[in-house]
Chain A
């Protein structure tokens, strides 16, 4: 019965390759496009699809680090408040006479700091869960934004600032290029580096990771700080698109973002899922919204469809597991 290690190669099976959730997303994505095309003759044109991506890509920046957070088995619901705070501070500084490039840098710094504070609280107070910490900071960050602007709008940014949200490089929207760069960076970070491997390890078993010399606190702190930084990137593009800002901008973004991540096949139990799934989910939901918007489907109906999709996304891996679990 002596069984020796025989193979040096990762066993490849077409079945498990094709049974990945990401293929399901591709199919749904194609399905949505076919449906949209049959619903409206205006849907299938390069220009309109290209412009549609500009409307939903702003929050997609936060999806990228949220994937890391959810793989860790944590959650961050303060990201929308960070967008608001970073945006409001940038607008306020510019109104007070700070040069716009400097105000933009400060916007990024504010977001990064907010994320760092989240991470620090979560790491230092182990008895508090990430939900509780970020629920508190969600209220606090939004509160500070209200104190600064007192429910007014601020804006009148220089003309060149609108390039971020509205500009093109050749035929391609600037925001799409920036998103593609960040998406590639996050894919590499999660799937090709030791950092990413350690994030997966922590999501599966944080105690065993600690005993294996993984610096769990440091990694958590970096991931939450990254989320803050990316929320500030969203703030830049969102503010540019709107031309002005208010303390209540980006309300509800955190739930949209989390929904995209979950639909992307990232398990809320931690440890599983791929970056590409969440990126596919961003485009899937974006195109679904755009298509149904063209034929005047009410927003409520859209929410119901999204909800159903989410339930399917959460259920599919359970069904697969159930079959294996029966031995």
Chain B
């Protein structure tokens, strides 16, 4: 028996003009959960694609159980016992759970070639029970939550007798409770002798689960450590390549006049009794579990949907906002939660994206003045330090953090007083996160009133002057900076019974 289930030596993968992996190594022990970390673009995804046979490497070798393997396609990797589970589950939403589990390796009657539905359902049920899932294998895949779909993917891996399971940012779309459930399953699999490669941006995931951690940076292997033996700071240095002295900027709020006041806002079926105040220069946080109604409240205030109860006051005057254009004219900007779907036109240039909300300003004699437009876009892109060759680069070519800076730039072209930032650092790596925190604090210092919606406890505590906690569409706590603690927020976001799973 080899020491390692999976060992990769000196793997190099080049695409024309790009070295995506440069002499990278990796060792996976049997029955181990091994975290793989690195900033976006560090080469993690390419590495996974090499292991799963999507991209055959240009150099180096891969040993599975001590013998050399050369996968030419994903099917060979699957048959050899390697399975990958992705953050965005790649499933057939209209088919049943059973069909999804057995897709591509259905149980077939030897003589008649008929599909053995009964046996498949039974096997699926057995796998799901083993994983502690409560749903029926006959239910439709699309009707399940993301967390449940991931469990189905894990069941699929088990049904193919996978020895190595790769989880690519599985917790990114999960709530705290669902993440706990996933941790439990991962540990259960480990105890059964499976080996797991766990990719995540969350340090929490790594500390909770992994025994060892490997870090990649700029397509290179940086090192592997026992998790207990490396400090958080050293790990960040390994990932970023420089010391981030302080993740959150110093906070000296200068609170000014009242900008926005909500009184008893409600939308039937979504939220009720939402009252809060926002002042100039202040950052007010809204947190709570996913589904607590935070996004719904602020999309209503931005005019995407309508509220049916309560009143909204802007600088003391009552307003009714019918669409986003009016909200922006009144000085309210919104940075949406999903930057790819709601924030950007991915196939467009950086500059065109930046000016989309304020096109009317660049009109000379009825026509769009593209020189004027480019000048403004360039200034803003530089101000926010968007890393690109020019503002004519396509947004789709940028990393997540730089894409998010473009969405910020869109807000700065308008004359706004109030910025509503919905999960401003979602899917962004550590280095870019710190840059975005600086941007947000800078904007507050310039006199913007900022509402920050986030599920991430550390950034709530680090950034906000006040924190509002929501649960099931209602505000359950309003905490001043001094009294805000992780415990207090958790207590207010969980169900009143206190019990959670």
Chain B residue with minimal CB distance to A10? B392
- Tell me whether A4 is interfacial, beta carbon within 8 Å: yes
With A3-B389, A5-B390, A6-B389 in contact, is A211–B328 under 8 Å at CB? no
Check B16 against A327 for contact (C-beta < 8 Å).
yes
- Tell me whether A11 is interfacial, beta carbon within 8 Å: yes
Segment among B173-181, B195-203, B358-366 that sits at the interface with chain A: B358-366
Tell me the complex Cα distance, A5–B354, Å: 15
- Tell me whether A50 is interfacial, beta carbon within 8 Å: no
With A192-B368, A194-B363 in contact, is A213–B357 under 8 Å at CB? yes
Q: How many residues of chain B get a CB closer than 8 Å to chain A's CBs?
A: 44
- Tell me how far the C-beta of B376 lies from the nearest C-beta in chain A, rounded to whole angstroms: 12
Which of B15, B16, B366 interacts with A193 by CB under 8 Å?
B366
- Tell me whether B484 is interfacial, beta carbon within 8 Å: no
Check B342 against A5 for contact (C-beta < 8 Å).
no
- Tell me whether A215 is interfacial, beta carbon within 8 Å: yes
Tell me the complex Cα distance, A271–B345, Å: 10
Residues of A close to B388: CB separation below 8 A: 3, 5
Check A209 against B390 for contact (C-beta < 8 Å).
no
Check A193 against B389 for contact (C-beta < 8 Å).
no
Residues of A close to B97: CB separation below 8 A: none
When each residue 404-423 of chain B gets 1 if its CB lies under 8 Å from chain A and 0 otherwise, what string results? 00000010000000000000
Residues of A close to B362: CB separation below 8 A: 194
With A3-B389, A5-B389, A7-B390 in contact, is A210–B357 under 8 Å at CB? no
- Tell me whether A8 is interfacial, beta carbon within 8 Å: yes
Check A198 against B304 for contact (C-beta < 8 Å).
no
- Tell me how far the C-beta of B295 lies from the nearest C-beta in chain A, rounded to whole angstroms: 12
When each residue 1-30 of chain A gets 1 if its CB lies under 8 Å from chain B and 0 otherwise, what string results? 111111111110000000000000000000
Which of A1, A208, A214 interacts with B344 by CB under 8 Å?
A208
**CB-contacts of A16-50 with B (<8 A):** none
Segment among A113-121, A199-207, A284-292, A302-310 that sits at the interface with chain B: A199-207
Check A210 against B324 for contact (C-beta < 8 Å).
yes
Check B367 against A188 for contact (C-beta < 8 Å).
yes
Segment among B139-147, B256-264, B379-387, B459-467 that sits at the interface with chain A: B379-387
Check B348 against A11 for contact (C-beta < 8 Å).
no
Check A213 against B389 for contact (C-beta < 8 Å).
no
Tell me the complex Cα distance, A7–B378, Å: 9
- Tell me whether A318 is interfacial, beta carbon within 8 Å: no
When each residue 318-359 of chain B gets 1 if its CB lies under 8 Å from chain A and 0 otherwise, what string results? 000001110110000010100001111111100010001101
Residues of B close to A8: CB separation below 8 A: 374-375, 378, 390
Which of B325, B342, B352, B392 interacts with A213 by CB under 8 Å?
B325
Chain A residue with minimal CB distance to B347? A204
Residues of A close to B492: CB separation below 8 A: none
Tell me the complex Cα distance, A25–B391, Å: 30
- Tell me whether A152 is interfacial, beta carbon within 8 Å: no
Check B15 against A327 for contact (C-beta < 8 Å).
yes
With A194-B360, A194-B363 in contact, is A213–B347 under 8 Å at CB? no
When each residue 223-266 of chain B gets 1 if its CB lies under 8 Å from chain A and 0 otherwise, what string results? 00000000000000000000000000000000000000000000
Check A207 against B359 for contact (C-beta < 8 Å).
no
Tell me the complex Cα distance, A198–B360, Å: 11
Main secondary structure of the interface of A (DSSP, over half): loop
Tell me the complex Cα distance, A215–B329, Å: 13
- Tell me whether A156 is interfacial, beta carbon within 8 Å: no
Check A211 against B343 for contact (C-beta < 8 Å).
yes
Check A213 against B366 for contact (C-beta < 8 Å).
no
Q: How many residues of chain A get a CB closer than 8 Å to chain B's CBs?
A: 32
Check A214 against B356 for contact (C-beta < 8 Å).
yes
Chain B residue with minimal CB distance to A215? B325
Check B342 against A208 for contact (C-beta < 8 Å).
yes
With A205-B346, A208-B345, A211-B304 in contact, is A6–B390 under 8 Å at CB? yes
Check B324 against A271 for contact (C-beta < 8 Å).
no
Tell me the complex Cα distance, A11–B325, Å: 32
Check B343 against A208 for contact (C-beta < 8 Å).
yes
Tell me the complex Cα distance, A201–B346, Å: 10
Chain A residue with minimal CB distance to B402? A3
Check B356 against A209 for contact (C-beta < 8 Å).
yes
With A188-B367, A192-B367, A211-B336 in contact, is A11–B392 under 8 Å at CB? yes
With A5-B381, A5-B390, A8-B374 in contact, is A205–B359 under 8 Å at CB? no
Tell me the complex Cα distance, A69–B357, Å: 22
Check B304 against A210 for contact (C-beta < 8 Å).
yes
Residues of A close to B345: CB separation below 8 A: 201, 204-205, 208-209
With A193-B367, A194-B363 in contact, is A7–B356 under 8 Å at CB? no
Check B390 against A11 for contact (C-beta < 8 Å).
yes
- Tell me how far the C-beta of A33 lies from the nearest C-beta in chain B, rounded to whole angstroms: 34
Tell me the complex Cα distance, A146–B405, Å: 58
Check B382 against A5 for contact (C-beta < 8 Å).
yes
Chain A residue with minimal CB distance to B18? A327
Residues of B close to A9: CB separation below 8 A: 390
- Tell me how far the C-beta of B420 lies from the nearest C-beta in chain A, rounded to whole angstroms: 11
Tell me the complex Cα distance, A198–B325, Å: 13
Check B356 against A212 for contact (C-beta < 8 Å).
yes
Check B341 against A212 for contact (C-beta < 8 Å).
no
Check B344 against A205 for contact (C-beta < 8 Å).
yes
Residues of A close to B16: CB separation below 8 A: 327
Which of A5, A10, A213 interacts with B328 by CB under 8 Å?
A213
Given contacts A10-B392, A198-B356, list 15 more A-B pairs with CB under 8 A.
Answer: A3-B388, A5-B389, A6-B390, A7-B389, A8-B375, A194-B362, A196-B368, A204-B348, A207-B342, A208-B344, A210-B324, A211-B324, A212-B324, A212-B356, A213-B324
Chain A residues in the interface with B (C-beta under 8 A): 1-11, 188, 192-194, 196-198, 201, 204-205, 207-215, 271, 327
> What 4 pairs across the A-B complex have the smallest Cβ distances?
A194-B359, A213-B325, A7-B390, A192-B367
- 29 pairs, CB–CB < 8 Å, chain A vs chain B: A1-B218, A5-B378, A5-B382, A6-B390, A7-B390, A8-B378, A8-B390, A10-B390, A192-B367, A193-B363, A193-B366, A193-B368, A196-B368, A197-B352, A197-B359, A201-B345, A201-B348, A204-B345, A204-B347, A204-B348, A208-B345, A210-B324, A212-B324, A212-B356, A212-B357, A212-B410, A214-B356, A215-B323, A215-B325
